[in-house]
Amino acid sequence: MNAPGITEPTEVITRARAGDAEAWGQLYHDYAPAIFRFCRRALPTREDAEDATMEIFMKLKSKLVQYDATRSFSAWLYKVAANHCWDMLRRRKIRQDKETDDLENVPLEHPDPSQLEQLIEQRTSEEVRKALDKMGGRARMALVMRYYSDMSYDEIADALGVRRAFVGVVLLRARHELRQALEGNAALAAGGVS
Amino acid sequence: MSELPEDKMKHLDEMTLLLYVERQMDRARGLEVSAHTQECDACRTLLRALERESRLLTRAMLEEDEPLPSRLAQFQERARRSMQWIWGLVFGLAATGAYALYEGYIQPWQQQLEQAGFGGSNLLGLLIFQGAMWKGWQSVVTLLEVVAMVTLAGLGAMFFRRRIRRGSALALVFAGLCTMLALPTGASATEFRKGDIVTVGPEETIKGDMYVTGARRVRIEGTVDGDLIVFCESLDVSGHVAGDVINFSQSARISGRVDGNVRGANNNLTITGTVSKNVLTFEETLTIDPAGKVGGSLTNVSANLGMEGSVGRDALLFAAHANLDGKIGGGVRVKGDSLSIGSAAVIDGPVHFEGRNRPEVSSSAKLASPVDFKQMEKKASYRESSYYVWQVIWAAAFILFGLVLFSLMPKFAQDTVVAAEQIGVTSGLGVLVLFGVPIAACIACITVVGLFIGLSTLFVWYASLYFAQIIVGAVVGQWLMGRTSELWPLIGRMAVGLAIVRLCTTIPHVGGWVKFAAILWGIGAISLSIYRRFQPVMAPSGPAAPYTPPMPPNTTLGGAQPA
C-alpha cells in the first residue's frame, strides 16, 4: 500500500523522527501528492483537500513517534489521513448520521446485472470522480479508503467507527449511491435478477 | 447455497458477490460462490460487473488528474526549513545567556579591576552605544526604540509568516540584533561618563549623545547636543539637552530646556524648566512647577502628582492623588483615589476622572466642561465573607467568559486545550510569555511608534490571564469526565473544571500559587496554540477520531437471497 512509485523510506523516517528537517521535507515531497489526491477524493472541495493535506502533515510531525517501523508507512499514513478527513467531515456535519443499527436493517435492492455492466462500460474515470462529488460523506469516504488507499476492512471499520461486519454494507451502499449519481436516478437499482 | 437442488432457482445476493470480489470470505464459502457463478449466468454477469466496477473505481481514484497545488508545494519548502526557528530562538537565548554571564561575572570582575586602578568604560555600553548601527541612528532613536523596533520586527515576521520565511526572518532578527550590538566601535561622538559625580559645566558642550551610568549625582549645566541617557541616584538638568532625556534615577529635576521627550522611571521627578515634546514617566511623585512647561502630552503613573505648570496637549494620569492647578491644552483622563483641581487650573478639553473619592474642583477653575466622574468600586477584602460570594460570582463570570470564547473560537479553544496537555512545554512557555510579553510591551510603549502596539499587547496579555484559567479548567474537566473533541461537551467539562480550579484558588495560602500555576500553564498553552496556528509545521497532534474496536478478522457478511 505504498504511495505510487515510493518504496518504504525507512532511513528517511528515522531521520525525520529525530528532527531532521531535510528528511521531513523529503517525506513531504514523496507523500504529499498521494495524500492530497486522497483528500481530494474524500473531501468536498479542493480547498478542503489542500487544508487537510497540510494539517495531516502537521499532525504527522508529532505523531511520527507513534509509527511502528515494522509496519507499512504508507498504510499508517493513509490511516492518519483517513482519520483526519473523517474527523473533518464529522465536525462539519457532512457525515451521514445513520446509525449502524439502521444500516443492518436497510434492505439493499438487487441490481440488474446486464444494466449494471452496461453502466460500468459506459462511464469514464472522470465521470466517476464527478459522481463522487455528489455522494454523502460516509459513502465517499468508504470508497476512497477501499479503492484509493487499499485499506483493509478492519482499518475502514476503525476509521469510520463502525463494526467490521458493516464495512461490506457501507461499501455496497456506497456503490449503489455512486451508481445513482452516475445514472442521475435510481432506475438501475430497481428490478431483480430472477 | 444455490448448489442444493431445491435452491436451483435462487441467486446469490449482491453483498455475497461483493465480499467474494473483495476477497473477504473464508475459503469454503468462496468455493461455494465460485461454483455457483460457474453455473448461474445472472450471478456470473453480476460478479463480472462488480469486478469491473471495482477496477473502474480504482482507476478513477488513482488517476493523477490534478498536480500538487502550488500552496502545498510551497508548504514543502517551509517544511524543509521548519527547524530554523529553533536556531533563531537558541541564538536569542544564547545572547541573553551571554548578557547574564556578563552581568553576573564579567562586570563585577571589571569593577574590581577598576577599583584596582585599571579603569575602563562599561563594556556593554560600549557595545551598545558605540556600535555602527547605533551611531547611524543616533539622532532618531534611542536604545529602547531600537529594541522595540527589533521586537516589532520579530512580531511582524511571525504574523506575516505567509509571505516570508518565518524561521529565517526570526533568525535574521536575532542575528541582526546581536550583530548590531557587537559591531566594532567606529568614529563616535558619544560621551560616556562614569563616576560618583558627573557634571557637564555651564560652558561645556557634549557633541552627540551622552550616556551616564553608575553615578550618584549627575548635573547637566551645559549643553548635550543629543540624547541624554542616565542611570543614577540624582539627576539635575539645568542646561540644555537637544535630544531626549531618558533617565532612571531616584530623583530628577529638569530646570533647563529639553528639546525632545522625557521618559523614564524615578522616585521623584520635578519639572521646572521646559520640555518641548512629551513626558512619559513612572514615579512616586511628579511635580510640574508653575514655571514648568511640557509642550506635548503628559502620560504618567505615580502616587502623587502636582501639576501647576502647563501641558500643551492631553494628559493621561494614573495617579493615586492628583492635583491639577495649571494649564492643560487638551483633555485630561485621570484614574486614582483623589483628584483636586485648583483655582488656577485652565483645562481646554474634557476631564474624566475615575476614582474612589469625588473630585474637588475649585469654583475658580476654568474648565471646558464639568468633570465627568465615575466612582471606583471598592474591592472585597480577602478576610470578609463577601470575598467568597464574589468568588462564586467570579467563577460564574469565568464560565460565561469561557462559554463565549469557546463559542466564538471553537477550533482555537480546542487546539489550546490539546496543547495544554503538554504540561512541561506549556508551563515553560508560560513563564517566558507571562514575564516576557509585558516587558516587551512596556519597552514598545516607551517609543512613540510602538505605543499602540505595546498597549494592545498588554491588553491581550491581560485578557489571556483570564483565558488561561479557562483553558486549565477545560483540561481539568477532561481529566475528570474524559476526553472529547465535541464543542458542547468540552464546554461542559470546562465549566466543571473551572469551578474546581476557582475553588482551589480560594484556599488560603495555597490558592494564590494555584492561580499562578494555572495562569502559567494556561498562558503557555495559549501561546503554543497561537504559535502553532502561525507555524504550520508545528501543529498540535489533534485527538484521534473515536474508534470502535474492530470485529475479529475473517468475519464475513451476506448469504443467499431468494430470487
**Chain A residue nearest residue B419, CA to CA:** A62
Chain B residue with minimum CA distance to A3: B62
B56 and A120 within 8 Å at the Cβ level: the answer is yes
Each residue's pLDDT expressed in tens, for chain B with a length of 563 residues: 444 444 455 788 888 899 998 888 888 888 989 899 888 888 898 899 899 999 999 988 888 777 888 777 766 655 555 445 544 554 555 555 555 555 555 666 666 555 544 444 444 444 444 443 333 333 333 444 444 455 555 555 555 544 444 445 555 555 555 554 444 444 345 666 666 788 888 988 888 888 887 678 899 999 998 888 888 888 999 999 998 898 888 889 999 999 988 988 888 999 999 999 889 888 889 999 999 999 988 988 888 999 999 999 889 998 889 999 999 998 999 988 889 999 999 999 899 998 888 899 988 889 888 898 888 765 545 666 677 777 788 888 888 888 888 877 887 888 888 888 888 888 888 888 888 888 887 777 665 556 677 777 888 888 888 888 889 988 888 888 877 767 788 888 888 888 888 888 878 778 888 888 889 899 888 888 887 776 544 333 333 333 333 333 333 333 333 33
CA distance B144 to B146: 5
Contact B546 A161 (CB under 8 A): yes
Give the C-alpha separation, B122 to B193, whole Å.
9
Which three cell numbers, joined as nine digits, stand for A100?
A: 449502524
Chain B residue with the nearest C-alpha to that of A53: B72
**Amino acid, res. A60:** L
Sheet of B240-241, strands arranged across: B205-206, B223-224, B240-241, B257-258, B274-275, B293-294, B310-311, B327-328, B346-347, B366-367
CA distance A89 to chain B (A): 11
**Across A128-136, average pLDDT:** 87
Chain B within 8 Å of A170 (Cβ-Cβ)?
no
Would you say B465 and B478 are in contact if contact means Cβ atoms under 8 Å apart?
no
B3 to chain A, closest Cα gap in Å: 16
Q: Is B240 helix (H, G, I), strand (E, B) or coil?
A: strand
Q: Which residues of A147-175 are buried (b: 16+ CB within 10 A; e: fewer)?
A: bbbbbbbebbbbbbbbbbbbbbbbbbbbb
Q: Give how far A109 is from chain B: nearest CA, Å.
A: 9
- How confident is the model at residue B498, as a pLDDT? 87
SS3 state of residue B63: coil
Residue of chain B with shortest Cα separation from A90: B545
Does A162 lie at the interface with B, CB-CB under 8 angstroms? yes
A67 part of contact set with chain B, CB < 8 Å: no
**B58 near A143, Cβ under 8 Å?**
no
Q: Residue B384's pLDDT is what? A: 67
Alpha carbon of B99: minimum distance to chain A alpha carbons (Å): 29
Q: Say if CB B317 and CB B297 are below 8 A apart.
A: no
Q: Which amino acid is at A24?
A: W
Identify the burial level of B433 via C-beta atoms within 10 angstroms of its C-beta, where 0-12 means exposed, 13-18 middle and 19 or more buried: buried
Q: What percent of chain A has pLDDT over 90?
A: 22
In single-letter form, the type of residue at position B472 comes to V
Per CB-CB distance under 8 Å, the chain A contacts of B45 are 113-114, 117
CA nearest A55: which of B486, B537, B159? Answer: B537
Distance from CA of B90 to the nearest CA of A (A): 16
List of chain B residues whose C-beta atoms are within 8 Å of the C-beta of residue A159: 545
C-alpha dist (Å) from residue A107 to A187, B417, B453: 16, 43, 64
How are beta strands B560-561 and B11-12 bridged, if at all? antiparallel
Residue of B nearest to A162 (CA): B548
How far apart are the CA of A191 and the nearest CA of chain B, in angstroms?
11
- The per-residue pLDDT for A156 is 92
pLDDT at B257: 94
Residue with cell 547637566: B220
Q: In the numeric block, which cell numbers belong to residue B468?
A: 488561561
Separation between Cα atoms, residue B410 and residue B486, nearest integer Å: 9
Burial category of A27 from C-beta neighbours within 10 Å (exposed 0-12, middle 13-18, buried 19 and up)? buried
pLDDT, tens digit (0-9, with 9 covering 90-100), for A66-97: 888 888 888 899 999 999 999 888 877 644 44
Neighbours of B70 (CB within 10 A): 9
CB contact under 8 A, A54 and B548: no
B-chain residues near A53 (CB < 8 A)? 72
* Residue A37 forms contact with B (CB below 8 Å): yes
- Residue B249: beta bridge partners? B232, B266
Query: How many Å apart are CA B237 and CA B337, to the nearest integer?
Result: 31
pLDDT for the residue numbered B238: 93
Please give the pLDDT value at position B559: 36
Chain centroid, CA B483 distance in Å: 29
In this complex, which of A54, A86, A178 lies closest to B536 when CB atoms are compared?
Answer: A54
Distance from CA of A73 to the nearest CA of B (A): 18
At B6, which helix (H) or strand (E)? none
Please judge whether A87 and B542 are an interchain contact, meaning their C-beta atoms are less than 8 angstroms apart: yes
- Contact in structure between B494 and B467 (CB atoms under 8 Å): no
CA A140/CA A138 separation, integer angstroms: 5
Mutate to test the interface with B, among A78, A117, A163, A193 (most CBs of B within 10 A): A193
Contact assignment for A193 to B43 by CB distance below 8 Å = yes
Mean pLDDT of chain A: 80
- What are B367's three cell numbers? 474648565
- For A12-16, A164-168, A186-190, B178-182, which range has the lowest pLDDT when averaged over its residues? A186-190
- What count of Cα atoms within 13 Å lies in the side-chain half-sphere of residue B78? 22
| Nearest by CB: A58 against B50, B72, B539 | B539
Distance from CA of A124 to the nearest CA of B (A): 8
Q: Do B471 and B417 touch, CB atoms closer than 8 A? A: yes
Type of residue numbered B27: R
Residue B248: other Cβ atoms inside 10 A: 16
pLDDT at residue B105, as a whole number: 54
User: Is A17 an interface residue toward B (CB < 8 Å)?
Assistant: no
Contacts of B46 in chain A (CB under 8 A): 111, 113, 116, 193
B506-510, Cβ contacts within 8 angstroms, sequence gap of 24 or more = B506/B388, B506/B391
**CA–CA distance, B252 with B292 (Å, rounded to integer):** 14
Q: Is there a contact between B15 and A172 if contact means CB atoms under 8 Å apart?
A: yes
Q: Distance (Å, rounded) from C-alpha B200 to C-alpha B223?
A: 8
Which residue of chain B is at minimal alpha-carbon distance from A193?
B42
Q: Residue B550 and residue A40: Cβ atoms within 8 Å?
A: no
Asked if A172's CB is within 8 angstroms of B14's CB, the reply is yes
CB contact A90 to B (< 8 Å) = yes
- Which candidate, B278, B277, B241, B245, places its Cα nearest to that of B264? B245
- A108 vs B: CB within 8 A: yes
Q: What are phi and psi of B124, to 5 degrees?
A: -65, -40
The three cell numbers locating residue B200: 557637564
Residue of chain B minimizing CA distance to A157? B550
Query: Hey, are the CB atoms on A54 and B72 less than 8 Å from each other?
Result: yes
Asked if A178 contacts A139 with a C-beta cutoff of 8 angstroms, the reply is yes
What pLDDT does residue A125 have? 86
Return the pLDDT at B246: 87
- Round to whole Å and give the CA distance between B379 and B386: 10
CB contact under 8 A, A165 and B557: yes
Supply the DSSP string of B83-143, one letter for each residue.
THHHHHHHHHHHHHHHHHHIIIIIHHHHHHHHHTT-----HHHHHHHTSHHHHHTTTT--H
Q: Is the ipTM of this complex over 0.90?
A: no
The number of C-beta contacts closer than 8 angstroms across A and B is: 189
> pTM score, two decimals?
0.40
**d(CA A48, nearest CA chain B) in Å:** 12
Q: What is the DSSP string of B168-226?
A: HHHHHHHHHHHHHHHSPP-S---EEE-SSEEEE-TT-EE-S-EEEEEEEEEEE-SEESS
Cβ of A163 under 8 Å from any chain B Cβ?
yes
How far apart are alpha carbons A172 and A139 in whole angstroms?
Answer: 9
pLDDT of residue A115: 81
pLDDT number for residue B95:
54
CA angle B499/B501/B502 to nearest 5° reads 65
Q: Which residue has the cell 471499520?
A: A157
Nearest to B541 among A59, A144, A157 (CB): A59
